[in-house]
Amino acid sequence: MELNTTFYETELQVRPDDIDMFQHVHSTRYLDYVLAARYDQMERCYGNPMHVYLEKGLGWVANSCFIEFKRALKLGDTMCVRTRIIEVRKNDVKVEFEILNRKSDKLCCNGYFYFTLVELQNGRAVAIPDWVQGLYVKNK
């Protein structure tokens, strides 16, 4: 299985409640931006909206993440959140991300998440079904 490692993009804007006492975006908000972008991209880019999982009693949970900060976003900035799946394992996927400032096109931060597929009823990890894995395969 060859993965489709295309970066998909979502544009977001910094909100006033994202700003910390140092007058830039608080570090935790960058993680929120990635989650919002993934939600958008799952439906728009993969044709795989979250409600499909919920109807099947499944959900994705972040089990770990790494983020490296390069430069700050500030109030009024617009950003491009780029993500791509770079690894699919038995019950989780590794999603790489970058957040760029739209005005300067400079990298603000990058990193990755591991998202695990779980049964909502008991919170236990489940194997990623073939119908999900097929969404991440490169079209030839």
pTM for this entry: 0.92
Name the residue range of residue 26's domain: 8-136
d(CA 117, CA 59): 6
- Residue 53, domain member (yes or no): yes
- Cα–Cα distances (Å) from 102 to 3, 11, 14, 71, 79, in that order, read 28, 8, 11, 13, 5
* 3 in any annotated domain: no
pLDDT at 124 over 60: yes
In a domain, 72, yes or no: yes
Q: What percent of the chain has pLDDT over 90?
A: 89
Beta bridge partners of 114: 64, 94
Closest of 27, 30, 109, 113 to residue 64, by C-alpha: 113
Q: Is 2 contained in some domain?
A: no
96 belongs to a structural domain: yes
Joined together, the tokens standing for residue 122 give 């008991």
For the residues of 36-53, what is the DSSP string, one character each? HHHHHHHHHTTS--HHHH
Which residue is it, tokens 């099947």?
56
Sheet holding 8-13, edge to edge: 8-13, 78-88, 92-101, 107-119, 58-69
Total tally of structural domains belonging to the chain:
1
Read off the CATH number of the domain in which 99 is found. Answer: 3.10.129.10
The C-alpha angle 132, 133, 137, rounded to 5 degrees, equals 125
Domain membership flag for residue 61: yes
Q: Which of 90, 137, 139 is nearest to 116 (CA)?
A: 90
pLDDT tens digits, 100-118: 999 999 999 999 999 999 9
| pLDDT tens digits, one per residue of 28-66 | 999 999 999 999 999 999 999 999 999 999 999 999 999
Say if 1 falls within a structural domain: no
pLDDT over 50 (residue 140):
no
